[in-house]
Structure formats: C-alpha cells, structure tokens
Amino acid sequence: MYSEVLPGIYRIFDTFVNVYLIDREEYIVAVDTGIDTTCDKILKTVEELGKPLKTIVLTHGHFDHTGSLRCLKEKTKALIAAHKDEEDLIFEKTGLMPEVKLNDGDVFEGLRVFHKPGHTSGSICLLDEVTKSLFVGDLVVEREGRLEEVPHQYSLDPKMNQKRIAELLEIDFENLLPAHGEPLIGNGKEKLRELVERLTL
C-alpha cells in the first residue's frame, strides 16, 4: 500500500504515479493526489499513520496529480496549496481553487518552493530541507535507474522544461522524489547531473 522512503516521508504508488505523504509530527502533508483511484489509498495510509491530513500541495494541475483532490477535500477538509499560475488548470481539472497561492522562494509546511514552468505554467518543485529531498513533480521521470525528460508531447514548452531541469543542479538536495518512477535516495543529484549532461550533448 505504502512504503517509507525516508524517515517521515511515505510513498503511495497507484498504477503509474506516486503520491508522497510527509509526517509533520502533528499532521500529514500530501504532495499531489494521484489519479481518481488514489483517494482511498491515501485515506487508508493517513488512518494507519494516525494523524490528520492537514495540507495538500500540488506540483501542478494535470489529472494524474489532481485526480483525488475533490475526494480528499470532501473527506478531510485539507487545505489546498499550489503556485498562483496553476490555479486555472487546477480549477479546470477539479472545479476547486487552491486556498494557498504559492510563489517562488516561499517556504510552506517546511517545503521550499521552486517555480519551474515548462511542463505547465505553474509547475513547482518542493525541497524538504531537513532530509534534502526534492519533490520534482513531472519535471523529470525515473526509468530503470536513470532520469529522463517527460515526453515532449506532455509539456507546454519542452525547451523551457529542459532549462528548468538544468536549474535544479543549483539546489542543495540529495534525494530526488519523482511523480513517475522510483525515488532516488542518496544519489538524486548525481543522476540529475547525468541527465543534464545528456541533454547538452
């Protein structure tokens, strides 16, 4: 159902997408909500962890990240946060508007926000500075131990997305937690550097 990928960070995998739950001692923060079938998996995990789901932070508005948003909002009343440039897409997909509008550089629920448009206009990455873990949404995907770009047809601006991928090397992180594929624990930056080198060949 779920696995602990790092102390206090849990991964729920559903079909082809990851949702991450972060234990903030008194409550849980979710990064993305998966597809429409993920809601029950998230609720069951939250129940097993024994703490309320207080906040949902969306990396962007695509259906495989917002599919369980309405269900979770109705069941938990969790606060929804996303980049201000992603509001319209989230509303289009879910009928819901984020209550918290994030900007580049904000620190929210212990997560530093990096606005990285390209995949969508309001795509963000989130850094948990305590564990040096970077939640990258769909900026990159993991396949068989390597990082790859998201296929170009899924991105608003693939060339801009490539530029944003290279910018991630400026961030101080060790673990890379993608929405698609396996988390890279301890070697996330090294694998990202390999991808950037391939992109610039």
The chain-wide mean pLDDT, for the chain, equals 97
What is the arithmetic mean of pLDDT over 53-64?
98
The CATH number that applies at residue 102 is: 3.60.15.10
Within a 13 Å sphere around the CA of 7, how many CA atoms are in the beta-carbon half?
4
Give the pLDDT of residue 6. Answer: 98
Q: Which of 110, 143, 142, 117 lies closest to 60, judged by CA?
A: 117
Q: Is pLDDT of 24 > 70?
A: yes
Looking at the chain, the whole-number percentage of residues with pLDDT higher than 70 is: 100
Give the pLDDT of residue 39. Answer: 98
Q: Where are the beta strands (DSSP E) in the chain?
A: 2-6, 9-14, 17-23, 28-31, 53-57, 79-83, 100-102, 107-108, 111-115, 124-128, 133-137, 140-143, 146-149, 175-178
Separation of alpha carbons 84 and 49, rounded Å: 31
Q: Assess contact for 195 and 17: CB atoms under 8 A.
A: no
What's the token pair of residue 184?
Answer: 């890279």
Q: Is pLDDT of 126 > 60?
A: yes
Q: Assess contact for 14 and 34: CB atoms under 8 A.
A: yes
pLDDT digits (tens, 9 = 90+) for 70-119: 999 999 999 999 999 999 999 999 999 999 999 999 999 999 999 999 99
For the chain, the domain total comes to 1
What's the token pair of residue 85?
Answer: 């440039």
Separation of alpha carbons 114 and 57, rounded Å: 13
Give the pLDDT of residue 1. Answer: 78
Give the pLDDT of residue 59. Answer: 98
- Which pLDDT band holds residue 200 (cuts at 50, 70, 90)? confident
Q: Is pLDDT of 201 > 70?
A: no
What is the arithmetic mean of pLDDT over 166-179?
98
In degrees and rounded to multiples of 5, residue 100 shows phi and psi of: -110, 120
Amino acid in position 150: V
Range of the domain at 99: 2-199
Q: Is pLDDT of 36 > 70?
A: yes
